[in-house]
Each structure stands twice: as structure tokens, then as C-alpha cells.
Structure 1
Amino acid sequence: MSLPRIAVDAMGGDHGVRVMVEGAALARRRHDKFKFLLVGDEERIKAALDDHPGMREASEILHCEDVVAGDEKPSRALRRAKTTSMGLAIQAVKDGKAGAAVSAGNTGALMAMSKLALRTMPGIDRPALAALLPTLKEHDVVMLDLGANTEADARNLVQYAIMGAAYSRIVTGFDKPRVRLLNIGTEDIKGTDALRDAAAALQEATDLALQFDGFIESDKINRGEVDVVVTDGFSGNIALKAIEGTARFVTDLLKTAFSSSLRSKFGFLVSRPATELLKHHLDPNNHNGGVFLGLNGVIVKSHGSANAQGVANAVAVTARMLEADITRRITADLAALGEDALRESHNGSATTDSAGAK
């Protein structure tokens, strides 16, 4: 089966054209049905393609020299949407010239441009950024929102749960993923009014393709006891950075411990298979590819610091979203919820500032 082609913002991210093209080429070596629209400086893209001749026939180049800076404010980036590689990649999705877009650039700008160009799906108030995190079990956990919106009311949280469950069904194969709301405790009385109202609505919505299991605390996110963790973008981004920082801390601590003495170095040689497995499991490149859920189109965010392997994983995530038609799945699940399910608990809209997670 031939997939719609994927637009790649070749200029975004810390490493730019070389790594973005190499990552796309690596993904294509694994799945030769991929086709690409590479958006960026034509001369630099052609130079990068010299190292990957198999990509040439699968790629079209859309020339663009303008780039969204990593520290650029979303409001300023929006004004340059028609001239930047990020904006043109998103526009290609809107115009039907690509089925999806991938960028490693500024998250806040990507969210703002995507929302303006593609708009949110019917029944979704705000899109959310979802990503896969490693667990102790064989499957990853989906977590959202990770920074698209700083605040969320009960209606938003229920919509996030529906979108996250649809995503989880694609990546895990589970018919009814286990969903929990991130909270400061697991008791029913804990948390904000929005959390408790969302929990009540999810408990009552028995026709949804998910299993709502109540609240979860942040120290249980990676235990493998849940398939989807739902929260607002402010809390989610803090939790994500804490998890990533802890992973780096553990890795660096082991490195220091194993180099502290001759006996420790010998111990490292003995335990190297286990430490290599740990390193692989904690490497964010192996779980790269955040998805903006709730838009009329598939937009995937790669880590700005991702290597070629990480970019390849982001491209693979993009392809899975296209193959599974994530938008159709979310639409069907929203229909099962019903428009009026949260009307009584929707007390105004939260602020719409982008958290601009990096």
C-alpha cells in the first residue's frame, strides 16, 4: 500500500538538514513505501541526499531558506508562516500535497501554525501534544497534554482522554486502553474541580473505547499499570521534563559509579549487557515523535536534539497515524461521548496561551 507522502521540515531542530534527511532515509530503508516532501534549502538538501541515493526517487524538494528560530515567539513565527520551512510543511498538509508533516523545530510555533492552518476537529476545543514514554512493561504509555495548552478544564481533559485512547489503540493494539488522570493523589476527593468533574464524566461514559481507572500520581507513570495518562499541558510538560531528567541522572550516576575504581570498572564489564539495555530503554531517541492530536491533519513533533535514529522513529510514528487514520478514530469516539456530556461542567474556556514546550 502506498502512503500519502510525508512533509519534512528539513531546517528545523538542533542539527538541521543533514540529520533530518538522514533520519527520513533511515525510515525509508525500513519501509520503502514512504514518500517525502523535503522542505528547506534546496542546495543543502541535495547535498544531504548525495549520501542517500535511494531517497532521491522517493523525495520532492520544496525550496525555502527561511527558518523558525528555536527561541522565536509563536506570534512572530505565525506572521512568517508562508515563508518558513515549518509553515510550508504544514501548508502542504492543508493543501493535500502531503498527508502529514514532521518538524523538529520550535514547539510553540509548530502548535500555533498547525492550529491556525488546519483548525481543530469538530468536537475538539483544543489540540493536545501526546507522546510515548517507556514503562517497565512491554508497551509504552501515552501521555498528554505535554505542552500545547497551559490550562485545561474538565471538558478539555475528557477530550484528551478520548484522543489519547485512540492513539493508544493504534500503538498498543488494546481495544480499551486503561486511562487515568494525573493527580496529587488517587483518592476521589483529591485534585481540582476540573479533575474531579472530568473523572465523573469519564466514569459515566460507559460507551467509550477506553477503561477509566481513576487518578494516578506521577511516580507511577512509568510502572506499566496504565496505558494513557491525561493532564493539562503545564503539569504534563513539568512531569515529562522531570522524567527525562531522572533518566539522565540515573545514566550519569551509573557512569560515574562504574568509573570510580578498578573494581567498579570490572563490575561494569560484567554488567555491560544490562547497562546497555538500560541505556537503550532510557534513550529519548527510541521514543521520539510527539503527535498533535485533535487537528484536521497529522502533525508530529520530533525532539529538537534528536539524532537520525530519533528522526526515523518520528517518521515511523507519522506513518502509523496515517495508516490507522487517527482523525477518523477520534471522530467516532467523540460521537460515542455525545455533545452534551460535559455541558454542565464546562465553566468557560481556559487560557489559550501556548506553553511552548521545547
Structure 2
Amino acid sequence: MAGSPRIAIDAMGGDGGPATMVEGASIAAARDASLRFVLFGDETAIREQLSRHPALAGRAEVAHAPEAISGEDKPSQAIRRAKTTSMGLAIAAVKAHAADAAVSAGNTGALMAMSKLALRTMKGIDRPALAALLPTVGDTDLVMLDLGANTECDARNLVEFAVMGAAYSRCALGIERPRVRLLNIGTEELKGTDELRDAAARLRAEDHLHLRFEGFIESDRLGRGETDVVVTDGFSGNIALKTMEGTARFVTDLLRRAFTSSLRSKIGFLISRPATELLRHHLDPNNHNGAVFLGLNGVVVKSHGGANVQGVANAIGVAASLVKNDLGRRIAEDLDQIRAHEAAA
């Protein structure tokens, strides 16, 4: 466990660039006095922003990077520029153990490609997965993976995702034996593809792991708080995530339109404002920002490109939490248990 996590930040990524990333780091620093930062990007622009945040004095270093990855760059192009870009150098710092985790709001495909090439996958992991915390009406958030890193997955991949997602839930949410389900078109055992049914059978047999496999779940139940980890392939997961985000925006837009449609509606809005503010806060993606590439030999967190300063601070908080709780060790221990169980069988 790292007592004082050192976070490498791609200061040039995201819509807000250095202004948003540096202020987000300042907010995260105020929340956690143990954090230290290395900010990668245009040195002049970063230092200008640092001068506005004295709370980071003595806690943030600047490492100049002459280039930045754009949203249009293909992963192959990004890989060729890894040694000169803020994103590539932030990942390299994790590889060299000069930082404990990297945070970027830049191009997701480029970040995944460079992270996988530089850090490599953990022993026993076939493919890394993109996981995120999603809001529910339950007591805790939901861990969902994969959200787009792998469009096609076999049963082995899904079992590995379940192990990694459960370890993430234990680190980020403090749930000792997370409830795990596979996303499917029905909850009956005969529903779904061969890969899903095979993965379910394997997870039922792995009852020695630090998780409780509870079968299948349909997408309309994702926000009900009935499970802690939902596992799927990246194609279905990304569609489900975008649908949830779109539905949240649809609901808030409908409420905004309804409350401004008449004088009576405006009065009603004033009366119900505490409730609507709570709803807005719960649905705000900035409050759940910070997707994680699980299965790599290092912690890499993806912040939403349009995240505000609070969202960036939350993504940094996710990275720090995973470092402090030694996510990699927990995943490795669970994978060792699976291998030992298979060998004994």
C-alpha cells in the first residue's frame, strides 16, 4: 500500500486542458493531504495554472511534454508518439514506478492502446477491461465492466472480468464479498449466448472467491441496487452505459421543460427544488467520474473528456483509492485461487 500516492496527470487531455486538470488536482489535494502529483504537458501553461492554486505548492511537479494526443488521433498514431506526448509520458511514469497511477481525460482508444503496450496485462489476464462506477438507488454504486475495451469476449474473459470487477468493488466501495451478475437478455439459466452460459457455470463453480455470483441480470435492473458488479462484453456494456447516460439527460431535460412551462410550474419547482437538486446531483456524471483499465500492471484511470473540476478530482480520488488498497495484489490473489482450484480439480 502506498501511503502517499503519486499521481501522474495528463494535463493536456480533456476539453478543459490544464485549467481543468490542475484545478481538479487542487481539489483532490484538499480532500487528501497525502496526494502528490506529476503534471505532464506544456510547462508554461501548467505553471500558469499552478500559480493560481497555492494549495499545490510543494506537492506538484511539472514534466514538460512537447505534444498532446488529440481526440482524432488513432491508437496506432498515439503509440508512435508515446515518448513525446503528455499522455504517453504519464503512462511511462507508472511503468517506471515514478508514479503510482496515471489519470487522463484524453482519447480513450489511445489511452487504452498505450497503457496496454507500456504496462502489459497481469499474469492470468487475457484482456484488460474498462470499468466504471454507476449510480443506483441502493446504498452503494455499481461497478460495471467491460464498457468498450473488448467488443467480443469469450467465457474466460467474462470470468476474468468478474474477478477484476469484484476486486475493484472491494477497493473502491469496501464490499467484502460483492454480488456479481452477468448482463443478459433474461434471468433464466438457459437464456443468452453459449459464452454467457459457460461463464455462469464457471463462476458458480468458483465459490471460493471473494465474490457471490448471483446469476444473470437484465439491463432494466441495473440501477435498482440489486447487485454490486455487472459483467458483460464491451459492445453490450458500452451501449448500456450510453443508454443510461442518455436516459439521465432525457429525464433532466424533461423536468427542466416541465418546470418552465407555466407560472404554476415555476412555483412548483421552487417548492420541490430540494428534491430536484438531489436528483440532479445523483444523475450528474461528474459525481461518478473515473473509469479504470483493470488487468494491467499499473493503475490507469480515464476521466470523462467533458468532466468539470469536481469530476477530475473524483477521478483522481478513484486512482488514489485503488493505489492505497493495492488493487493489483487483490486481483492477483483471486487469480491464484482460480488456478489452484483448477489444478486441484
Q: Residue in 1 aligned with 2:279?
A: 278
Whole-angstrom distance in 2 between the partners of 1:95 and 1:280: 38
Task: Name stretches of at least 5 consecutive residues in structure 1 with no aligned partner.
Answer: 343-358
Q: Residue in 2 aligned with 1:46?
A: 47
1:121 pairs with 2:122: yes
Q: Residue in 2 aligned with 1:198?
A: 199
The residue type paired with residue 181 of structure 2 is R
Whole-angstrom distance in 1 between the partners of 2:3 and 2:162: 31
CA drift at 1:33: 1.1
CA drift at 1:65: 2.6
Whole-angstrom distance in 2 between the partners of 1:92 and 1:71: 24
1:66 pairs with 2:67: yes
CA drift at 1:339: 6.8
CA drift at 1:172: 2.3
Q: Residue in 2 aligned with 1:346?
A: none
CA drift at 1:175: 1.6
Whole-angstrom distance in 2 between the partners of 1:2 and 1:167: 19
Whole-angstrom distance in 2 between the partners of 1:185 and 1:64: 49
Give CA deviations for 1:305-326 in whole Å, capped at 9, x if unaligned: 0000000000000000000000
CA drift at 1:5: 0.8
Q: Which runs of 4+ in 1 moved over 4 A?
A: 339-342
Q: Is the 8 A contact 2:24 2:310 kept in 1?
A: yes
The residue type paired with residue 330 of structure 1 is I
The residue type paired with residue 102 of structure 1 is V
Q: Tell me the secondary structure at the aligned position of residue 45 of structure 2.
A: helix
The residue type paired with residue 182 of structure 2 is L
Q: Residue in 2 aligned with 1:32?
A: 33
1:329 pairs with 2:339: no
The residue type paired with residue 187 of structure 1 is E
Whole-angstrom distance in 1 between the partners of 2:46 and 2:274: 38
Whole-angstrom distance in 1 between the partners of 2:76 and 2:111: 11
CA drift at 1:2: 3.7
The residue type paired with residue 282 of structure 2 is H
Whole-angstrom distance in 2 between the partners of 1:239 and 1:147: 10
Q: Tell me the secondary structure at the aligned position of residue 109 of structure 1.
A: helix
Q: Residue in 1 aligned with 2:99?
A: 98
Give CA deviations for 1:188-231 in whole Å, capped at 9, x if unaligned: 11111110000000001111110000000001011000000000
Q: Residue in 1 aligned with 2:20?
A: 19
CA drift at 1:340: 8.0
Q: Tell me the secondary structure at the aligned position of residue 89 of structure 2.
A: helix
Q: Is the 8 A contact 1:127 1:294 kept in 2?
A: yes
1:146 pairs with 2:143: no
1:285-296 correspondence to structure 2 within 5 Å:
285-296=286-297
1:156 pairs with 2:193: no
Whole-angstrom distance in 2 between the partners of 1:11 and 1:66: 9
Q: Is the 8 A contact 2:184 2:192 kept in 1?
A: yes
Whole-angstrom distance in 2 between the partners of 1:281 and 1:243: 13
Whole-angstrom distance in 1 between the partners of 2:35 and 2:306: 23
CA drift at 1:341: 4.5
Q: Is the 8 A contact 2:69 2:85 kept in 1?
A: yes
CA drift at 1:138: 1.8
CA drift at 1:56: 2.4
CA drift at 1:336: 1.1
Give CA deviations for 1:210-267 in whole Å, capped at 9, x if unaligned: 0000000001011000000000011101100000000000000000000000100000
1:264 pairs with 2:265: yes
1:123-272 correspondence to structure 2 within 5 Å:
123-272=124-273
Q: Residue in 1 aligned with 2:78?
A: 77
Q: Is the 8 A contact 1:123 1:339 kept in 2?
A: no
Q: Residue in 2 aligned with 1:348?
A: none
Give CA deviations for 1:144-186 in whole Å, capped at 9, x if unaligned: 0001111110000000000000011122222210000001111
Whole-angstrom distance in 2 between the partners of 1:213 and 1:296: 29
Q: Is the 8 A contact 2:190 2:197 kept in 1?
A: yes
Task: Name stretches of at least 5 consecutive residues in structure 2 with no aligned partner.
Answer: none
- TM-score, length basis structure 1: 0.94
Q: Tell me the secondary structure at the aligned position of residue 11 of structure 1.
A: coil
The residue type paired with residue 106 of structure 1 is N
Whole-angstrom distance in 2 between the partners of 1:170 and 1:75: 33
Q: Is the 8 A contact 2:172 2:322 kept in 1?
A: no
Whole-angstrom distance in 2 between the partners of 1:243 and 1:309: 21
Q: Tell me the secondary structure at the aligned position of residue 49 of structure 2.
A: helix
Q: Is the 8 A contact 2:134 2:143 kept in 1?
A: yes
Whole-angstrom distance in 2 between the partners of 1:225 and 1:15: 36
Q: Is the 8 A contact 1:176 1:210 kept in 2?
A: yes
Q: Residue in 2 aligned with 1:356?
A: none
Whole-angstrom distance in 2 between the partners of 1:116 and 1:169: 27
> Over the residues paired in the alignment, what is the CA RMSD in angstroms?
1.2
Q: Is the 8 A contact 2:3 2:324 kept in 1?
A: no
- The number of aligned residues is 342
Whole-angstrom distance in 2 between the partners of 1:116 and 1:25: 30
**Shift in alpha-carbon separation, 1:36–1:279, aligned structure 2, 3 A:** same
